[in-house]
Structures are given as structure tokens and as C-alpha cells.
């Protein structure tokens, strides 16, 4: 097992490419039905971390902000946050 590659909490799938891991995280298992308040809080807490990681990956502050807004809106639509 390589350091820094975390398996999916639901299925255990591992992805070498961070972009594929993010895609899997967001869409592979569909929306969480009736997410608990604890889960919603954890997702909201991860958005600033994702924003920082997008900037580290080379996106500008404005681009990272737009991406986070879009991701947050999609999460709101399916009831995750």
C-alpha cells in the first residue's frame, strides 16, 4: 500500500490519480440518502480543504472558489449539505 492513497470508505477502491479519486468520491456511489447532521458537518468542513488543495494543484483563487461553489451547490441539491 502506498502512503497517501486512501481507499474509498464504501467500497475500498484505490485510485493512483487524485482526479480519479475525487471523481469516484463525488459520483460513484450516488447521493447519500438522509445524511446525518454529523455527515453533513463533515462534508462542509472539507470544502475549505478542497479549496486549498485546488489552489495547490495550480488553480487560481477565483477558479478554486468557483469550483467549490459548484460542488457545494451540487451537494445541496442532493441533500448532503
- Specify whether 39 is located in the same domain as 74: yes
DSSP structure string for 1-32: --TT-PPPTTT----SSHHHHHHHHHHTT-PP
- Specify whether 73 is located in the same domain as 43: yes
Distance CA 45, CA 78 (A): 17
- Specify whether 22 is located in the same domain as 50: no
- Specify whether 37 is located in the same domain as 15: no
Does residue 1 have a pLDDT over 60? no
Does residue 22 have a pLDDT over 50? yes
- Specify whether 20 is located in the same domain as 49: no
Report the domain count for the chain: 2
Which residue segment(s) compose the domain that 49 sits in? 33-78
Distance CA 66, CA 22 (A): 17
- Specify whether 22 is located in the same domain as 37: no
Higher-scoring residue by pLDDT: 75, 67: 67
- Specify whether 50 is located in the same domain as 74: yes
pLDDT reported for residue 33? 61
pLDDT reported for residue 30? 62
Amino acid at each position: 500500500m502506498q502512503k497517501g492513497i486512501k481507499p474509498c470508505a464504501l467500497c475500498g477502491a484505490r485510485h493512483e490519480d487524485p482526479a480519479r479519486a475525487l471523481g469516484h468520491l463525488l459520483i460513484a456511489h450516488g447521493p447519500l440518502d438522509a445524511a446525518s447532521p454529523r455527515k453533513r458537518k463533515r462534508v462542509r468542513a472539507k470544502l475549505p480543504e478542497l479549496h486549498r488543495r485546488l489552489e495547490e494543484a495550480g488553480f487560481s483563487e477565483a477558479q478554486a472558489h468557483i469550483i467549490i461553489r459548484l460542488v457545494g451547490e451540487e451537494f445541496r441539491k442532493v441533500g448532503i449539505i
